[in-house]
Amino acid sequence: EEVFPTPFCPGCGHGILLQTILRAIDELDIDIKKIVFVSGIGCAAWIPSPHFKADTLHTLHGRPLAFATGIRITRPDLEIMVISGDGDLGAIGGNHLIHTARRNLKIITICVNNSIYGMTGGQVSPTTPKDIITETSPFGNPEEPFDLCALVKSCGAEFVCRYTVFHTKPLKKSIQKAFQINGFSFIDVISPCVTHYGRRNKMPTLYDFYQFIIKNIISYEKAKSLNKEELKNKIIIGEYV
> Is 3 part of any domain?
no
> Is 209 part of any domain?
yes
Buried b (16+ CB within 10 A) or exposed e, 198-213: bbbbebeeeebbbebb
In the chain, how many domains are there?
1
> Is 6 part of any domain?
no
Give the integer Cα–Cα distance in Å for 125 and 135: 11
What is the pTM assigned to this prediction? 0.95
> Is 77 part of any domain?
yes
Write the pLDDT tens digit of every residue in 33-92: 999 999 999 999 999 988 999 999 999 999 999 999 999 999 999 999 999 999 999 999
Are 60 and 211 spatial neighbours (Cβ–Cβ below 8 Å)?
no
| Helix or strand (DSSP H, E) at 113 | strand 108-113
Residue percentage of the chain with pLDDT more than 90: 93
Give the integer Cα–Cα distance in Å for 44 and 42: 5
The CATH number of the domain where 197 resides is what?
Answer: 3.40.50.970
Are 229 and 211 spatial neighbours (Cβ–Cβ below 8 Å)?
no
